[in-house]
């Protein structure tokens, strides 16, 4: 594996300064989710983070060197010598905060079911504005294929799963398979960034919906910051960041898992499901009742989300016969 050059102290400090002045989102952590939901839902609890006995863990692996930071991922690999499907797991946090470690419990349990599960970091805040975060994740998929033999990955079977902002990014990866404009400037360009299945957990797919535009006009939020400005000034970017508009014959089968939360506004998911189905691409949508937006991170909803995700991916990533 190649050694990635570390960014200079000055560059890291500059990035930190930019993020302090540009990111206004509260930190998105599992602790904060539990704190906000405490007393509102019966059975609310943290998920056990113990590594299953049949899983190997390799954490904090450098996969991409950017000018100002090194991006990392974790590998949770089923024990054994077979070729396993891989799942890139993308954390949420409004494209500004959050961390891949939030998704480690989910990844460990997916690995126990026969997947190489890969929580991944990507650029956030100012440095991660669209399309930068997408470039990072496409590079991560290419990295998995370039190192497939090392981690017993079947390069023909790679999926993306994400929640909230991570769900949006996963949906964008799957919808935009073979879209050259989103490849970015990362390495491993001899390898494909295509994914063969997607699970989007409460993630946006259409930024151009009138309700989001109106909400952002009244008060700038994470979408406007991620897209570099308001809709009136950045129409093309708002459209280009919307997975709905990339749907085509190359797009991946997709499962949408919805909460019943009123906020954030997440339009376009049924429209995207319909567009995929019109092309004979499997697209499923399930709603888990009585759920807040970050439901997948904690009990009592964690196991149901995990089951739905694993069942869909097992069906879509079966080895071709």
Peptide bond before residue 300 is cis, with ω within 30 degrees of 0: yes
Nearest to 4 by CA among 73, 103, 75: 73
Give kind and range of the element (H or E) at residue 59.
Answer: strand 55-65
The predicted structure's pLDDT at residue 26: 80
Residue extents of the structural domains in the chain: 28-316
Q: CA gyration radius for the chain? A: 18
Q: What is the CATH number of domain 28-316?
A: 3.40.50.1820
- pLDDT per residue, tens digit, the chain (321 aa), is 444 544 433 333 333 333 333 445 689 999 999 999 999 999 999 999 999 999 999 999 999 999 879 999 999 999 998 899 999 999 999 999 999 999 999 999 999 999 999 999 999 999 999 999 999 999 999 999 999 999 999 999 999 999 999 999 999 999 999 999 999 988 999 999 999 999 999 999 999 999 999 999 999 999 999 999 999 999 999 999 999 999 999 999 999 999 999 999 999 999 999 999 999 999 999 999 999 999 999 999 999 999 999 999 999 998 743
- CA dist 223 and 230 (Å) reads 9
- In the sheet with 283-287, reading across from the earlier edge strand, the strands are 55-65, 70-78, 116-120, 84-90, 153-163, 197-201, 254-258, 283-287
Nearest to 31 by CA among 102, 80, 125, 123: 102
The predicted structure's pLDDT at residue 15: 37
The predicted structure's pLDDT at residue 14: 33
- The residue behind tokens 């956030």 is 124
Q: pTM value? A: 0.92
CA atoms within 13 A on the CB side of 24: 8
The predicted structure's pLDDT at residue 2: 45
Could you give the angle at the alpha carbon of 57 between the alpha carbons of 53 and 58, nearest 5°?
Answer: 165
The predicted structure's pLDDT at residue 12: 35
- The residue behind tokens 């390069």 is 155
- CA dist 188 and 251 (Å) reads 22
Question: Is 171 exposed, middle or buried (CB count within 10 Å of its CB: 0-12, 13-18, 19+)?
Answer: buried
The predicted structure's pLDDT at residue 23: 42
The predicted structure's pLDDT at residue 67: 83
- CA dist 30 and 171 (Å) reads 23
- Whether the CB-CB separation of 268 and 244 falls below 8 Å is answered with yes
């Amino acid at each position: 594996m190649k050694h990635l050059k570390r960014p200079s102290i000055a560059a890291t400090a500059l990035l930190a300064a930019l993020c302090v002045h540009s990111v206004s989102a509260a930190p998105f952590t599992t602790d904060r989710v539990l704190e906000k939901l405490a007393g509102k839902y019966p059975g609310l609890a943290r998920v056990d983070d113990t590594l299953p006995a049949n899983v190997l863990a390799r954490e904090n692996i450098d996969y991409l060197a950017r000018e100002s930071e090194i991006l990392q991922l974790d590998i949770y690999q089923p024990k054994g010598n077979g070729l396993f499907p891989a799942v890139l797991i993308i954390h949420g946090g409004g494209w500004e905060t959050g961390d891949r470690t939030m998704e480690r419990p989910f990844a460990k349990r997916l690995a126990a079911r026969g997947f190489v599960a890969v929580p991944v970091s990507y650029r956030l805040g100012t440095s991660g504005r669209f399309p930068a975060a997408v470039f990072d994740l496409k590079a991560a998929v290419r990295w998995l294929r370039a190192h497939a033999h090392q981690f017993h990955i079947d390069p023909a079977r790679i999926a993306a799963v994400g929640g909230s902002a991570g769900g949006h990014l996963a949906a964008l990866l799957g919808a935009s398979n073979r879209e050259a404009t989103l490849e970015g400037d990362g390495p491993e360009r001899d390898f494909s960034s295509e994914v063969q299945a997607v699970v989007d957990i409460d993630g946006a797919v259409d930024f151009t919906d009138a309700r989001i535009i109106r909400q952002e006009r009244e008060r700038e939020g994470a979408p406007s910051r991620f897209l570099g400005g308001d809709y009136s000034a950045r129409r093309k970017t708002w459209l280009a960041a919307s997975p709905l508009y990339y749907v085509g014959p190359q797009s991946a089968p997709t499962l949408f898992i919805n909460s019943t939360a009123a906020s954030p506004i997440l339009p376009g998911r049924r429209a995207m499901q319909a567009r995929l189905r019109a092309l004979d691409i499997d697209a499923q949508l399930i709603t888990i009742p009585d759920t807040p937006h970050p439901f997948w991170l904690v009990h009592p909803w964690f196991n149901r989300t995990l089951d739905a995700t694993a069942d869909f991916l097992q069906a879509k990533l079966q080895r071709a016969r």
